[in-house]
Amino acid sequence: MAKIKVAELFYSIQGEGRFMGVPSVFLRVFGCNFKCEGFGMPKGGRSEEYLKVVPENYTEYKQLPLVSTGCDSYASWDPRFKHLSPVLSTDSIADSIMDMLPYKEWKDEHLVITGGEPLLGWQRAYPDLLENSKISYEGFATTLLTIMEVPGIIIGIFLATRNQSSHVSWSTSLKEIVLGKTIILLVGGLIIGAISGDAGYEKVKPFFVSLQPGILALFLMHLGYLAGSQIQLIKAAGSQLLLFALLFPIISGTLGVVGGELAGLSIGGATVLGILAASASYIAAPAAIGIALPDANKSIAITISIGVTFPFNLIVGIPLLNLIATKLIS
């Protein structure tokens, strides 16, 4: 179970920035890497007021005295006070967060994760925390995948063929894209869900919800096998492709988060949109490319998307995009 060294966790009102006045839960992790001048200090100056505080005299972070100059969160980075920041599991942090919320669930509140660059020290813990904290997002956010997949593949084929003399059968390619099994299942699921509603969903919930973890595990094992069996293709493709697989998801994901912020989505909704924008298609796209670009090596695309981009997004992409969304919207 993932753990985080927590300096303080509290519910309050956002006191600065664009969302001043919004109820928020603040999670401050220990180990801030910044060297801020702090309050009441001239440029280039550093307050030493906090040095007068004797760590041994306190057993809890909230007991510490306030300072009038310098960093008001000095105990979140000064190693003398590290004994005041317990290492907590993401489960216990999530339980504490939910208890702090007035309605015991997310409404209009924001989650603010702070402490310098908190992802540097605890990046692997944030996916668990966000899942356990039940961060809300617009229900339609994941359905945007259906809308994004088709134009994404079409643009990709266009970019790949714009400087080629070879003829591309657009009618055949579009037929495979629009009528491919992935799009059919996605669109079909949306239509069925819209017609059946909540009552219909409850009837199939045991199959789609209860069995989902096991089916997902088998699916991921299969993807891992495909990627592992052809991992040598990544080495043969060179370092440039590897860098693209790692860096482009950050760029496209950030643009997705910005787009979500401009569209008025919540932090969770903007994060989901960013994750969708950062994701690589390894089912629908290879099938369409096989028809439009018969000379293309689909194995490289599948291996790099499953073996590099997919795990990178799980480990780094999701918490990073959520942090960006939090910074933009909070």
Q: What is the pLDDT of residues 161-187, one digit of tens each?
A: 766 655 656 666 667 666 766 667 777
Contacts of 251 (CB under 8 A, 6+ apart): none
Tens digits of residue pLDDT in 195-238: 887 788 788 878 777 777 788 778 778 777 777 777 777 777 77
Phi, then psi, of 5 in degrees rounded to 5: -85, 110
Task: Say how far apart CA 301 and CA 299 lie, in whole Å.
Answer: 5
Residue type, 171: S
Q: Across-strand partners of 5?
A: 87
Average pLDDT over residues 273-290: 76
282, 301 Cβ separation under 8 angstroms: yes
Environment class of 241 (CB within 10 Å of its CB; exposed 0-12, middle 13-18, buried 19+) = middle
Percent above pLDDT 70 for the chain: 78
DSSP 32-75: -------BT--TT----GGGGS-GGG-SSGGGSPP-SSB-TTGG
- As separate numbers, helices (DSSP H) first and strands (DSSP E) second, the chain gives 14, 4
Among 105-109, 149-153, 200-204, 287-291, where is mean pLDDT lowest? 287-291
If residue 182 lies in a helix (H) or strand (E), which one and from where to where? helix 181-205
pTM here is 0.53
CB 312 within 8 A of CB 321: no
Q: What is the pLDDT of residue 208?
A: 73
**255-265 mean pLDDT:** 90
Are 25 and 95 within 8 A, CB to CB?
no
pLDDT of 178 reads 67
Do β-strands 3-13 and 23-29 pair in parallel, antiparallel, or remain unpaired?
antiparallel
Q: Residue 24: beta bridge partners?
A: 12, 110
Query: What is the rounded distance in angstroms from the CA atom of residue 269 to the CA atom of residue 262?
Result: 12
Is the predicted pLDDT of residue 147 greater than 60, yes or no? Answer: yes
Q: Give per-residue pLDDT as tens, 81-133.
A: 999 999 998 888 888 998 998 887 777 788 888 887 766 666 567 666 766 66
DSSP string, 242-254: HHHHHHHHHHHHH
What per-residue confidence (pLDDT) applies to 41?
Answer: 65
